[in-house]
Amino acid sequence: MLTKLKFKKTKIIATLGPATSSVEKIISLIDSGLDLVRLNFSHGDYDTHAEYISNVRIAEEKTGRIIPVILDLSGPKIRTGNFENGKIFVNANDEVRLIKENITGDEKNIPVNAPQIIDDIKVNERILIDDGKISLSVISKEKDSLLCKVFNPGYISNRKGINLPDTNLSLPSITEKDKKDIEFGIKNKIDFFALSFVRKPEDILSLKQIINSYGVDIPVISKIERPEAILNIDEIISASSAVMVARGDLGVEVSPEKVPAMQKLIISKCNKLKVPVITATQMLESMVSNPIPTRAEASDVANAILDGTDCVMLSAETSVGKYPELAVRIMDKIIEETENIKKIRPVNYSDKISKNLLDIICKTAVDIADSINAKAIVTITKKGRSPLLLSNLRPESHIIAVANEDNILRKSSVLWGVDTLVYKPLSNPENIFSTVKDLGLKSGFFNYGDKIVAILSYPEFLPDSANTIRVIDI
């Protein structure tokens, strides 16, 4: 199900929305460089999301590309309630109450959608509303309300987000809405779940238990948005199929100036622990309404790539923006230019020695491929382990993962540098290598005289049990 080999290695994820809902728009995004799609379940109903998924599958058939679908769960997002006339204005030094009662709010009383947070918040802790535009501090606490002082003036509209950077929350990581969304996602055969506001590894295990109760195994992406997640970052990464640096809420919770260093820390740890990582939020934000990004945005994308990210993600740029295809195309160009300027080699590459045979085979294959300037490393996989190991080593060559089931390759689509090819049956590797050569020649990726490094088992053919490295001339 691969029609051509891609020249870039860092993957692009685009969020679908009203601006990109049709089959034609999705195909245009694919042609522009799209690799995966995200559905934001904080917005839209089931009929809308079912249509998006159906249209992605149609676009896959028409383009011959595997385009995995990520279902991004809302999680325990805390919001204000509704107000008279839809909004209120608060002045600096005003005193307002956050209340448990589900009433229409006014200038003195702000209802919240999760009343249990009133019990969690302590005196002197901060309450940030609407991405930090309005900042409150708790003066005193009563049974059903919090008396707060306003630090900066502004409007508070209906259902604005609330962040609590100083508070240890007791909210469950998976809400009742999330549970319904999980069931919907499984029925509609989505490829990844993204879990919002992860605080500890147990949050991920809880989601995996729910998924497994349906008799399926779907990878979980952990979104790093809370300070508690940073404290437990190694354990969270180890429990995850992938990690997303969700810089929107993270930047509110920990303050914007700390986000760049945290991004580098998380990416570095993911690289070291062999877990793919996604950098997300406001990457080309100005392209929601402008046809070109700012220079700072272009640098932001490039720096995430140089940090070692596997994927970069677009949100509002493609879901509601005026220039969704152009945003993907420009991101694709930034990736290509950045990948040309230096070898993206992990800082701990020399330490990546293991006693595991597959680890050793993969590292040796990368060293050989780099030495002979091979155009691609081909690996035949049944579980997706060898593409992960090869990707983590960041070879100069592209990686082509071959499997007889596309669900394995969908999981590999999030990996840096990995192209995927469905091939049935897997019993004859010579035919597979011949197909890969023909495909590369037709797409212009290979030229006669190029070399491929192939990983396989010999004499008995067993995917993911490699014991042989072969160099193949085109």
Q: Provide the 10 A C-beta neighbour count for residue 6.
A: 18
420 is annotated as an active-site residue: no
- Whether 371 has a pLDDT exceeding 90, the answer reads yes
* Same domain, yes or no: 298 and 332: yes
Q: Is residue 5 in some structural domain?
A: no
What tokens were used for 15? 């969020």
pLDDT of residue 437: 82
Catalytic annotation, pick one of 4, 57, 79, 451: 79
436-447, pLDDT tens digit by residue? Answer: 788 778 767 788
Q: Do 150 and 183 lie in a common domain? A: no
Query: Is 3 within the bounds of a domain?
Result: no
**In sequence order, what are the residues at sequence separation of 6 or more whose Cβ sits closer than 8 angstroms to the Cβ of residue 333?**
none
Domain residues for the domain of 442 are 349-473
Per-residue model confidence (pLDDT) at position 19: 96
Question: In the chain, what is the greatest distance between 2 CA atoms, to the nearest angstrom?
Answer: 78
Residue bearing tokens 């990457």? 283
The overall average pLDDT reported for the chain is 92
Indicate if 225 and 309 belong to the same structural domain: yes
Gap between the Cα atoms of 89 and 96, Å rounded: 11
The percentage of residues in the chain with a pLDDT greater than 90, rounded to a whole number, is 77
Domain at 229, CATH number? 3.20.20.60
What does the pLDDT average to over 11-29? 98
Tell me, yes or no, whether 1 lies in a domain: no
Residue 57 lies in a domain: yes
Lowest mean pLDDT among 11-15, 237-241, 424-428: 424-428
Is there a single domain that holds both residue 55 and residue 92?
no
Q: Does the pLDDT of residue 190 top 50, yes or no? A: yes
Catalytic residue among 10, 20, 279, 281: 281
pLDDT of residue 9: 95
Whether 91 and 181 share a structural domain: no
Please check whether residues 367 and 300 belong to one and the same domain: no
230 pLDDT above the threshold of 50: yes
Token output for 249: 């809420």
Give CA–CA dist 195/421, Å, rounded.
28
Task: For residues 416 and 369, state if they share a domain.
Answer: yes
To the nearest 10°, the Cα dihedral for 226, 227, 230, 236? -40
Do residues 367 and 218 both lie within one domain? no
DSSP state of 105: B
pLDDT at 360 over 50: yes
Helix/strand/coil for 235 = helix
1 pLDDT band (50/70/90 cuts)? Answer: very low
The residue from 137, 163, 189 where one domain ends is 163
Residue 468 has pLDDT above 60, yes or no: yes
Whether 38 sits among the annotated catalytic residues: the reply is yes
**382: domain CATH number?**
3.40.1380.20
Q: Which of 318, 338, 358 is the last residue of a domain?
A: 338
The residue-averaged pLDDT of 94-112 equals: 95
182 and 311, same domain (yes or no) = yes
Question: Structure tokens of 279?
Answer: 């950098």
With bands split at pLDDT 50, 70 and 90, how would you rate the model's confidence at 467? confident
Residues 206 and 62 in one domain: yes
45 and 107 inside one domain: no
Domain boundary among the residues 163, 198, 223 is at: 163
Amino acid identity of residue 412, one-letter, is S
Considering only CA atoms, which of 246, 257, 249, 248 is closest in space to residue 312?
Answer: 246
pLDDT tens digit string along 395-409? 999 999 888 888 889
79 is catalytic: yes
Strand partners for 441: none
End-to-end CA separation in angstroms for the chain? 22
Given the residues 38, 77, 100, 394, select the one marked as catalytic.
Answer: 38
Which residue from 381, 287, 368 is spatially nearest to 334, judged by alpha carbons?
287
Q: What is the pTM of this model?
A: 0.92
- The pLDDT of 187-214, averaged and rounded, is 98
Question: Quick one: pLDDT band at residue 463, thresholds 50, 70, 90?
Answer: low
Question: CATH number of the domain that 114 lies in?
Answer: 2.40.33.10
pLDDT band at 346; cut points 50, 70, 90 = low
337 — pLDDT class (breaks 50, 70, 90):
very high
Regarding whether 467 and 369 lie in a shared domain, the answer is yes
Q: Which of 8, 223, 363, 394 is catalytic?
A: 223
The number of folded domains in the chain is: 3
What is the rounded CA–CA span in Å between residue 402 and residue 231? 38
> What number is the average pLDDT over the span 89-115?
95
- CB of 433 closer than 8 Å to CB of 378: yes
| Cβ atoms of residues 348 and 272 within 8 Å | yes
Share of the chain above pLDDT 70, in %: 94
Establish if 343 belongs to a structural domain.
no
Window from 205-214, 232-241, 357-366, 421-430 with minimum mean pLDDT: 421-430
- The answer to whether the CB of 205 falls within 8 A of the CB of 173 is no
Cβ atoms < 10 Å from Cβ of 179:
13
Comparing 353 with 376, the larger pLDDT belongs to: 376
